[in-house]
């Protein structure tokens, strides 16, 4: 179910603009503590990721220093073709390359994203260089709506299961991109949505117990 927000929230990068939310992001859960995960093998990075043209430019400006972290040469970092997409910052995007079976920026000798590691070690806020789609994963967006990623909807993420809900896991990143007012409104949408869900479940449970009782009596 989609819930319309009270206004448009513009990402600090200019796009996307969010004004709706799929409320299933408050009920679906996953492990979320990526660097403590000992079973996923960073499988969510296997396909590479969409990256907007402005992010590519920012990464290229750090190319020389970042190269010391990435095993593959700079010319292999991104697909050559840029496609138009008005909801991405800069209006165009490409993808990070998949090399030897996973994203070119994945650490082959350990765990995690090398862009993230580079930012931490250089004292750079990782939001400035790590792709937006990675920072808010496993959420994504489309047509103004914040929604679960494809991997969640198609049960294709190794870490689906106990943990925080999709929204709570990336709440801090959403605050960075869309502001404190956005997450305050989202918190309220979450509270109402979960309350309604609990009531619906309680009603379902009650009517199922009543049906069972009738079945025993008859």
Candidate list 26, 78, 105, 178; residue touching ligand SF4; CB under 6 A? 105
Q: How far apart are CA 186 and CA 155, in angstroms?
A: 24
Candidate list 9, 31, 176, 177; residue touching ligand SF4; CB under 6 A? 31
Residues in contact with ligand SF4, total (CB under 6 A)? 21
Tokens of 110: 């350990």
* Stretch near ligand SF4 under the rule CB under 6 A, chosen from 34-42, 55-63, 70-78, 142-150: 34-42
By three-state DSSP, how is residue 127 classified? helix
Please give the torsion angle defined by the CA atoms of residues 160, 162, 165 and 170, in that order, rounded to the nearest 10 degrees.
Answer: -70
Which residues touch 104 (CB under 8 Å, ≥6 apart)? 48, 70, 72, 76, 77, 96, 97, 98
Does residue 40 interact with ligand SF4 by CB under 6 A? yes
Residues 139-158 binding ligand SF4 (CB under 6 A) are 157-158
Contact call for residues 177 and 136 (beta carbons, < 8 A): yes
Does residue 44 interact with ligand SF4 by CB under 6 A? yes
Candidate list 19, 43, 67, 153; residue touching ligand SF4; CB under 6 A? 43
Does residue 78 interact with ligand SF4 by CB under 6 A? no
* Stretch near ligand SF4 under the rule CB under 6 A, chosen from 10-18, 37-45, 63-71, 203-211: 37-45
């Amino acid at each position: 179910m989609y819930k319309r927000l009270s206004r448009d929230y513009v990402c600090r990068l200019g796009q996307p603009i969010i004004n709706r939310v799929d409320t299933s992001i408050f009920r679906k859960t996953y492990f979320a503590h990526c660097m403590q995960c000992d079973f996923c093998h960073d499988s969510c990075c296997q396909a590479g990721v969409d990256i907007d043209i402005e992010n590519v430019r920012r990464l290229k400006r750090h190319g020389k220093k970042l190269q010391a972290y990435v095993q593959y040469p700079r010319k292999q970092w991104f697909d050559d073709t840029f496609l138009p997409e008005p909801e991405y910052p800069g209006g165009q995007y490409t993808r990070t390359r998949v090399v030897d079976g996973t994203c070119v920026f994945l650490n082959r000798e350990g765990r995690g994203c090398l862009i993230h590691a580079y930012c931490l070690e250089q004292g750079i806020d990782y939001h400035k260089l790590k792709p937006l789609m990675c920072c808010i994963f496993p959420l994504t967006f489309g047509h103004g709506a914040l929604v679960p990623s494809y991997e969640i909807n198609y049960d294709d993420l190794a870490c689906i299961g106990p943990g925080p809900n999709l929204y709570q896991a990336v709440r801090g990143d959403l605050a960075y991109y869309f502001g404190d007012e956005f997450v305050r409104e989202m918190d309220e949408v979450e509270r109402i949505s979960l309350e309604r869900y609990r009531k619906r479940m309680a009603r379902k449970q009650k009517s199922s117990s009543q049906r069972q009782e009738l079945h025993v009596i008859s």
